[in-house]
Structure 1
Amino acid sequence: MREGFFCKIVGLIGVSGLFLQQAVAQDASVLLADREDETQETVLPYYDYDHIPDFTYEEVEKRISEMDTDMPFELNETIFAFIDYFTVRNRDYTRMVLARQEMYFPMFDEVLSRHDMPEDIKYLAIIESGLNPRARSRVGAIGLWQFMPATGKEYQLYINSHVDDRMDPEKSTDAAIRYLKALNRRFNSWELALAAYNCGPGNVNKAIRRSGGKRTFWGIYRYLPRETRSYIPQFQAIMYVLRHADKHNLILEEPAYTVDHEKVTLGTGFTFENLAKHTGLCLEDLELLNPSLLRSEVPEFGKNISLNVPRYQHAYITENMDWLVDSLETTQQRYLASLPEKEEKPLHNITYRVRSGDVLGKIAQRYGVSVNQLKNWNNLYSNTIRIGQVLHIYQDSDTFEKSLASSQQQNSDSDNSAGKMYTVQPGDSLWLISRKLDGVTIDQLKKLNNLNNNQIKPGQKLKIG
């Protein structure tokens, strides 16, 4: 019996050992599988974007001295501070322009070569706009090269409520290069030409005079506007940073590339949406390639406007040009026919002379128009107006009559108010004046005229009702 009992015990231990071996083997296989997964994870490409390599002034100075450029410069503390800014404190901005450079630099290089200009001028667009063709400054400068309206028109950039060529990368680049070329001829120095591009030739001439006739940027540095003093050092810092981005661990995995495109002319008076429906083009591509068309449409103008379309659809569009133009015209005509007819109302041209305390918003509210309408009618590029300036305001008959009635009411109220005034005579006091006027007390006179005491003087005008 004991032998049977011991046999059973030995059998159970054997079976348990078998199960234990299988369990251990299973756990071991799981562990090995986990280790294999871990091994696979560790061999995947990994970039430490947060690692910022150390660098010294001497290292940067040596790299700059070895740069191959038509616009050489010497490193100083100001430029070094901006290099530190772009490589340490604002690395996100630098990565952003690194990603965008392939979209515009090839076109910049072509235009600069055509005008026999230094290739490094292309870096100026980074300082101006961060390579954003729709960039807009607080003072109204727009586009890759930040043209103000007056300068843009001087260099044949068309600007209205439908089209703004300052946002056209090709047209604005050609205009900017021609402008910079003219400034360089004037100052015979690229640094001074760039400074004039930023603050205007007048300010550079003034700085030259105040410096005693010096004609270098650092010679007139202290006499330039504050923004311009940092403008050239930023430009020179970017020249260095984009050449040596890898030295500062500014790694770019996926640069942005522009959509290859060709120009076509399809007439006028159609929307991007309709063109996309008829051709299968991507609406977003059309808007990306044509940023100067502000309303995503080709407006009805006296001249045809060339449209950028993706190259892969260019052949299809040119082969079916007649059918496509006819279809777009038909769609537009049907759309216009579906609109309710509006009765044409005659417009009245009102001239208004700006007075002290006036602002565009106040004038627009008074005449029932918008600030943008005031600016368009009077060719204003900002909200600044001056006393005595004449503004033209256009109103239909209904609005004109309401404004006229309101103006007459204001004049009537002014006349009534003027009739309830009293001029203080010699010997008058508030008590005597209150006795002369039935139902008016001294306290009422003081409240009406914001008086803190009973002192009045001859000739003073008092409201009495």
Structure 2
Amino acid sequence: MKKYILIVISIVVLFAVIKLFIFSKVKNDGIGDKEYHEAYSKYYKIFAIELPKELNLFGEPVPIQRYDVRESFDREILINTYWQSQTLMFFKRANRWFPSIEKILRKYNLPDDLKYISIIESGFMNVKSPAGAAGFWQFMKPTAKSYGLEINDEVDERYNLEKSTEAACTYFKDTYKIYKNWTLVAASYNIGIGALNTELKNQQVTSYYDLFLNEETARYVFRIMAIKTLLNNPKSYGFYFRNKDLYPIIPTYSVIVDSSITDLVSFSKYYNLNYKLIKDFNPWLISNTLTNKEGKSYKFIIPKIDSLNYNDLLKNNSEQVYLIDDSAKTKK
């Protein structure tokens, strides 16, 4: 009897070991190669993008049927469509910053499409390039100063959205007097007026689309074109979002200061803010002091204390999908 029990126990243990081995194998290996590739084929899809048959930029027609123009645009629309995280950030930030930029463009009677240059230049971030260009509009220091922006150890107005946009608009108007063409104005913003004039003269052409340029400038206008197309037709390119998913405009008021500030932390506390918030809303202040011997007037942007809570900011935003109008379809 004892021998029989030992045999039964041995069989049970052996069976358990076999089952454990089988289970471990399934757990480690997962589904087989065939099932894996079937699932991959079923669920992973990348679609080629149907390009519009007609395009315009800055109110000027784009020769999209030319093979080189078409393929240059195709490259940029593909990159920005499938770099989803970055492009979605553009949607979010555009909701906050475009209204201010659009207002200034209207003031100068300039094409609305020029606003997309700020995205291409900085992605709506107050960054500084390795070459030294800074702010939303990426002005180099000499150019910024020539357009009246103040730059010193305490102040850098390239980071002042209102003043740098005004400077960019003045540049656009001045440059349009030279080229009488907004596409060339945009190209000059990247390569520089002198370099663009040299290329136009040497190559004996008058159109941006006929120029052989360095890769950055050759892509520049097409990048603007792609961002405009995506931001105006989000659904067509697979971007879905609700109003509340976009960054809201934060209510602010302005304070004019015409004296020196010896301690920006104390200045912040006077308005019941912390130092970080003052710097966030006034990035043109690059020091913690403001020496103002000449009594110059500086406009400080102060956020309203009762509007800093995100839930309160979103109260007026609906669940409706697409804040950016997608009803005006690109012509096919």
Which of the residues 228, 235, 249 maps onto 1:258? 249
Q: Counterpart of 2:203?
A: 211
Contact 2:58 2:182 in 1 (8 A): no
How far the C-alpha of 1:251 sits from its partner, in A, is 2.6
Q: Counterpart of 1:189?
A: 181
Which of the residues 123, 127, 137 maps onto 2:120? 127
Q: Counterpart of 2:79?
A: 85
Taking the aligned partners of 2:158 and 2:271, their CA distance within structure 1 comes to 28
Gaps of 5+ in 1: 1-49, 314-465
How far the C-alpha of 1:296 sits from its partner, in A, is 4.0
Contact 1:265 1:307 in 2 (8 A): yes
How far the C-alpha of 1:68 sits from its partner, in A, is 9.2
Q: Given the superposition, is the C-alpha separation of residues 71 and 286 from structure 1 closer, same or farther in structure 2, using an over 3 Å criterion?
A: farther
TM-score by length of 2: 0.71
Taking the aligned partners of 1:282 and 1:102, their CA distance within structure 2 comes to 25
Contact 2:179 2:185 in 1 (8 A): yes
Contact 1:142 1:166 in 2 (8 A): yes
Contact 1:71 1:118 in 2 (8 A): no
How far the C-alpha of 1:283 sits from its partner, in A, is 3.4
Gaps of 5+ in 2: 1-42, 65-69, 307-332
Q: Given the superposition, is the C-alpha separation of residues 188 and 309 from structure 1 closer, same or farther in structure 2, using an over 3 Å criterion?
A: same
Which of the residues 100, 103, 109 maps onto 1:116? 109
RMSD of Structure 2 on Structure 1 (CA): 2.3
Q: Secondary structure at the match of 2:52?
A: helix
Contact 1:195 1:232 in 2 (8 A): yes
Q: Counterpart of 1:138?
A: 130
Taking the aligned partners of 1:183 and 1:98, their CA distance within structure 2 comes to 29
Identical positions, percent: 27
Taking the aligned partners of 2:130 and 2:45, their CA distance within structure 1 comes to 33
How far the C-alpha of 1:56 sits from its partner, in A, is 3.6
How far the C-alpha of 1:290 sits from its partner, in A, is 0.2
Structure whose alpha-carbon radius of gyration is higher: 1
Say whether residues 1:305 and 2:267 are aligned partners: no
Report how many residues are paired.
Answer: 256
Taking the aligned partners of 1:102 and 1:197, their CA distance within structure 2 comes to 24
Q: Given the superposition, is the C-alpha separation of residues 107 and 230 from structure 1 closer, same or farther in structure 2, using an over 3 Å criterion?
A: same
* Structure 1 runs, 4 residues or longer, greater than 4 Å off: 50-53
Which of the residues 229, 232, 235 maps onto 1:243? 232
Q: Given the superposition, is the C-alpha separation of residues 73 and 282 from structure 1 closer, same or farther in structure 2, using an over 3 Å criterion?
A: farther
Taking the aligned partners of 2:155 and 2:58, their CA distance within structure 1 comes to 37
Greater relative contact order: 1 or 2 (C-alpha under 8 angstroms, separation 6 or more)? 2
How far the C-alpha of 1:74 sits from its partner, in A, is 3.6
Q: Counterpart of 1:230?
A: 219
Query: Could you give the per-residue CA deviations for residues 373-410 of structure 1, whole angstroms, max 9, x where no partner exists?
Result: xxxxxxxxxxxxxxxxxxxxxxxxxxxxxxxxxxxxxx
Query: Could you give the per-residue CA deviations for residues 143-173 of structure 1, whole angstroms, max 9, x where no partner exists?
Result: 1000001000000000011100001000000
Taking the aligned partners of 2:45 and 2:122, their CA distance within structure 1 comes to 26
Taking the aligned partners of 1:240 and 1:142, their CA distance within structure 2 comes to 26
Q: Given the superposition, is the C-alpha separation of residues 245 and 207 from structure 1 closer, same or farther in structure 2, using an over 3 Å criterion?
A: same
Q: Counterpart of 1:385?
A: none
Say whether residues 1:289 and 2:281 are aligned partners: yes
Q: Given the superposition, is the C-alpha separation of residues 68 and 177 from structure 1 closer, same or farther in structure 2, using an over 3 Å criterion?
A: closer
> Where does 1:34-183 land on structure 2 (aligned, <5 Å)?
54-57=47-50, 60-62=51-53, 64-65=54-55, 70-75=59-64, 76-88=70-82, 90-132=83-125, 134-183=126-175
